[in-house]
Amino acid sequence: MYSDSYSSSFDPSGMIAGLVGGGFFLGFVIFFFVFFTFFLVLLLLQTIALYKMAQKVNHPYAWLAWIPIANSYVIATIPSKPFDLINPTFLGGKCHVEDRNKFGIYYLIFLFAPSILSMVLGVLSVIPVIGYLIAFLSTLFYLAYFILTYIVMYQICKDLYDVFEDTQNTTMMSILSIIFPIIIPFYMFILSKKVPLQ
């Protein structure tokens, strides 16, 4: 009475493939959620620590610690000493900024320079002959920028850490902060519990 044509045409491989695909998607969603949550916790930890550090040194714009890009200004201006790029005589002493507030503005410009330059170079690169030269020069620029970023980041971390801890410890922590940036929020949180030395 019943036909076996329906039961014989049933192929479970499609159902298994759907379950496997759904499992991979669910795994991706869970991984993304865990990663995103971890990132938000680190961001919140660093923001709270930076805000407390800025308050302890009576920074006039401590509230900027809560704004994601503007907090770079606070990080750069918490130390009150002049900014020297590793050595005050580096490049003939031209990498010395006496006013830390000016350096904070320079640092924000430094952070956005590659984005602005890439837009300009992207437009100029369509010029037939000059485009190849621009592509080569932009590669050299980004390589130099990459190296300079790590040098500036080291000095900013060192200056910031020196405000709250002895210089011997801060040199190693600054190097570790560049190699493993994930430790920055934790170390800043530890430093935020301390009294400024300066």
User: Which SS3 state, helix, strand or coil, does residue 96 take?
Assistant: strand
* 54-77 pLDDT tens trace: 999 998 989 999 998 888 889 888
**Domain count within the chain:** 1
The residue segments making up the domain with residue 61 are: 5-192
Which tens digits make up the pLDDT trace of 93-130? 566 677 778 888 888 888 888 888 888 887 877 777 78
Query: If you search the block for the tokens 């600054």, which residue do you land on?
Result: 174
Share of the chain above pLDDT 70, in %: 86
H/E element, 28: helix 12-56
pLDDT in tens, 2-26: 555 555 566 666 677 777 777 888 8
Q: Does residue 109 lie in a domain region?
A: yes
Among the listed residues 43, 38, 40, 39, the one whose alpha carbon sits nearest the alpha carbon of residue 188: 43
Length of the chain: 198
Does a structural domain hold residue 73? yes
In a domain, 93, yes or no: yes
Is there a domain that residue 197 lies in? no
What's the confidence (pLDDT) of residue 88? Answer: 52
Q: Is residue 59 part of a domain?
A: yes
Q: What is the pLDDT of residue 159?
A: 85
Predicted pLDDT of residue 93: 54
Mean of per-residue pLDDT scores for the chain: 82
Please state whether beta strands 83-84 and 96-97 pair in parallel, antiparallel, or not at all (unpaired).
Answer: antiparallel
> Does residue 198 sit within a domain?
no
The pLDDT of residue 48 is 94
Query: Bigger pLDDT: 139 or 37?
Result: 37
**Is 47 a residue whose pLDDT tops 90?**
yes
Distance set, CA 196 to CA 53, 63, 100 (Å): 8, 18, 17
What is the distance in angstroms between the CA of the first residue and the CA of the last residue of the chain?
Answer: 94
Q: Which residue has the tokens 């503005």?
A: 105
**CA distance linking residue 140 with residue 8, whole number of Å:** 65
* pLDDT attached to residue 4: 52
Element (H, E) at 83: strand 83-84
Evaluate whether residue 57 is within a structural domain: yes
Of 71, 91, 101, 76, the C-alpha closest to 156 is 76
